[in-house]
Amino acid sequence: MNSNKENESKLLVLPYIKGISEKIERICSPLNIKLIFHSSTTLRKLLVHVKQATPMEKKKGVVYSIPCMNCNSVYVGETGRNLEKQLKEHQYAVNRMDNENGISVHAWKKSHRVNWDESRVLKMIPNYFHRRLTEALIIQSSNTTSNLDKASSSTLRRLRSCKNSSVN
């Protein structure tokens, strides 16, 4: 019975690497180990491409910035939706002179133009409280934002307390 076990060869599947695979095969042959080599480059891998990565502007749950074209003022915001949709809302607010929107107020009070093309995602943060806290910290650390809420210390404390109470 032992002689059958000794005669049985073990099977090992490895990727083929020219020059190395042949040496491994020579070493394994006397040990009764049968090798099967496969190519790491297949026709499928060469021809089939998985979908492209989603652009940051289309990702949900982001902290973003929108700069002014005439000065170094920047609006910082957060949204659970994607930046593309949020920009359309801001553009609508500017067009109707919304006095509750920081970008609109800045644009109309200073007669400045918004640089929509330079708007960008600063961070992608799916968690609502982390996103709000990050937005507030960025606003507070900058003295050139056109945000109406300048993210005071009390705002940060409220966000932190909301986060802590939601964890419990």
Q: Could you list the mean pLDDT of each consecutive 10-residue stretch along the chain, which spans 168 residues? A: 62 85 87 85 76 80 96 94 94 94 94 95 92 89 84 61 56
- If asked whether residues 61 and 94 sit together in one domain, one would say yes
> Residue 76 forms beta bridges with which residues?
65
- If asked whether residues 15 and 65 sit together in one domain, one would say no
From CA 115, how far away is CA 67, in angstroms rounded? 6
Pairing mode of beta strands 33-38, 10-15: parallel
- If asked whether residues 116 and 139 sit together in one domain, one would say yes
The pLDDT value recorded for residue 143 is: 83
- If asked whether residues 29 and 111 sit together in one domain, one would say no
- If asked whether residues 42 and 60 sit together in one domain, one would say no
- Say if residues 105 and 42 touch (Cβ distance below 8 Å): no
The pLDDT value recorded for residue 17 is: 84
How buried is residue 56: exposed, middle or buried, by Cβ count under 10 Å (0-12/13-18/19+)?
middle
- If asked whether residues 37 and 84 sit together in one domain, one would say no
- Say if residues 47 and 71 touch (Cβ distance below 8 Å): no
- If asked whether residues 86 and 142 sit together in one domain, one would say yes
From CA 158, how far away is CA 164, in angstroms rounded? 10
- If asked whether residues 148 and 72 sit together in one domain, one would say yes
- If asked whether residues 40 and 74 sit together in one domain, one would say no
| Domain hosting residue 16, numbered range | 2-47
The pLDDT value recorded for residue 18 is: 85
> Residue 35 forms beta bridges with which residues?
12
- If asked whether residues 96 and 146 sit together in one domain, one would say yes
The pLDDT value recorded for residue 107 is: 95
Q: What is the pTM of this model?
A: 0.63
The pLDDT value recorded for residue 168 is: 45
Tokens of 74: 């920047």
Neighbouring CB atoms inside 10 A of 123's CB total: 15
Considering its fold, how many domains does the chain have in total?
Answer: 2
Tokens of 29: 């042959």
Tokens of 54: 């989603």
Neighbouring CB atoms inside 10 A of 73's CB total: 22
Instruction: Tally the residues of the chain.
Output: 168
